[in-house]
């Protein structure tokens, strides 16, 4: 198994939610310091989600042009750029930084499963995918727990910027992988064929973009199961991000807890999701082995 690929994907996953979920824990500070309403503060977590919806169709085109490795590097570089832009003075800078991060994370959401399917043996792909999802939730847990205490010491803006360390670690690790891959391409070796490896999983993204015929599109859109699955996944995502965005503020308003305590309590929710993904990973592995 290419362990550097696995490590790079897992470390990169730490940055795919953490820079969004860290914002709600300091929302009262943002509203007070920038003089904005609760609706404007909520927009800071809504903006990246809008980018997920709007930019996902274009992500395949970017992967086809740039390739999966470079796309993931662009993802991490974009998240880092968005974090730096978010340090600018005024609400406009903060919102722009969140939009940049939303676009960048959208690329990561699409390309990481492609890399896992392409580079890992099929018997390990489901475990790696579950680990990738769990690491996203681990990043959310850590930032939800730690941002408010850092804000008390440094201020809310430096506290949000402190999590750049996760993104920088992912950038360095993935850059090392890309260098090693480039060197391997210069000196190719005959590699053993791994049974079940989905080596051509990304071919649809790196080759010509398929075009659906009108008849087949009508057939797909006419399937009730498609709409039921879309509704189920959309509802799950909406519930998760709504809780993530407003749970710390609700805890402060309803219980009188400090932001630090509210962030710690909200991190329990993120930890539950992490443990749920870990359990799913174990059960998936059991099913594969059986």
Tell me which of 257 and 91 has the higher pLDDT. Answer: 91
pLDDT of 90-118, one tens digit each? 999 999 999 999 999 999 999 999 999 99
Q: Are 281 and 134 in contact, with CB atoms under 8 Å apart?
A: yes
pLDDT of 138-177, one tens digit each? 888 899 889 989 999 999 999 999 999 999 999 999 999 9
pTM of the shown model: 0.76
- Residue 261 has a pLDDT of 78
Q: Are 102 and 52 in contact, with CB atoms under 8 Å apart?
A: yes
- Please name the residue that has the structure tokens 């690790």: 173
- Distance from C-alpha of 234 to C-alpha of 266, rounded to nearest angstrom: 22
* CATH number listed for the domain at residues 3-289: 1.20.1250.20
Q: Are 186 and 113 in contact, with CB atoms under 8 Å apart?
A: no
Tell me which of 188 and 146 has the higher pLDDT. Answer: 146
Q: Are 246 and 42 in contact, with CB atoms under 8 Å apart?
A: yes
Q: Is the pLDDT of residue 193 over 50?
A: no
Total residues belonging to the chain: 290
- Distance from C-alpha of 264 to C-alpha of 146, rounded to nearest angstrom: 8
- Residue 21 has a pLDDT of 87
- Residue 197 has a pLDDT of 46
pLDDT band, residue 198 (cuts 50/70/90): very low
DSSP state of 190: -
pLDDT of 67-94, one tens digit each? 999 999 999 999 999 999 999 989 999 9
DSSP state of 143: H
Question: What does the DSSP assignment read for 238-279?
Answer: HHHHHHHHHHHHHHHHHH---HHHHHHHHHHHHHHHHHHHHH
User: Quick one: which H or E segment has residue 290?
Assistant: none
Domains in the chain: boundaries: 3-289
**CA 40 from centre of chain:** 23
pLDDT of 34-58, one tens digit each? 999 988 988 998 898 889 888 888 8
Q: Are 72 and 20 in contact, with CB atoms under 8 Å apart?
A: no
Question: What does the DSSP assignment read for 15-81?
Answer: TTTHHHHTSGGGHHHHHHHHT--HHHHHHHHHHHHHHHHHHHHHHHHHHHHH-HHHHHHHHHHHHHH
pLDDT of 201-224, one tens digit each? 444 444 444 444 445 656 766 777
């Amino acid at each position: 198994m290419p362990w550097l690929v696995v490590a790079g994907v897992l470390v990169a996953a730490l940055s795919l939610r953490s820079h969004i979920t860290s914002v709600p824990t300091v929302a009262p500070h943002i509203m007070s310091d920038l003089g904005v309403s609760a609706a404007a503060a909520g927009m800071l977590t809504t903006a990246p989600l809008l980018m997920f919806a709007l930019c996902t169709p274009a992500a395949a085109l970017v992967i086809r042009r740039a390739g999966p490795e470079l796309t993931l590097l662009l993802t991490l570089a974009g998240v880092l750029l968005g974090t730096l832009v978010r340090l600018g003075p005024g609400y406009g800078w903060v919102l722009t930084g969140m939009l940049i991060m939303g676009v960048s994370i959208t690329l990561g959401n699409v390309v990481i499963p492609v890399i896992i399917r392409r580079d890992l043996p099929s018997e390990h792909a489901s475990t790696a995918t579950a680990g990738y999802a769990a690491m996203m939730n681990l990043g959310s847990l850590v930032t939800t727990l730690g941002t408010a205490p850092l804000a008390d010491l440094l201020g809310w803006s430096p506290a949000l910027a402190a999590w750049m360390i996760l993104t920088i670690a992912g950038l360095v690790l993935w850059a090392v992988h890309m260098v090693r891959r480039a060197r391997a391409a210069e000196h190719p070796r005959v590699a053993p064929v791994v049974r079940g490896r989905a080596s051509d999983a990304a071919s649809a993204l790196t080759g010509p973009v398929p075009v659906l015929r009108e008849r087949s599109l009508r057939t797909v859109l006419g399937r009730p199961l498609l709409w039921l699955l879309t509704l189920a996944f959309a509802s799950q995502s909406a519930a998760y991000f709504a809780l993530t965005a407003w749970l710390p503020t609700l805890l402060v308003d309803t219980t009188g807890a400090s932001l630090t305590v509210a962030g710690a309590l909200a991190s329990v929710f993120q930890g539950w999701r992490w443990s749920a993904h870990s359990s799913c990973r174990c059960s998936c592995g059991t099913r594969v082995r059986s």
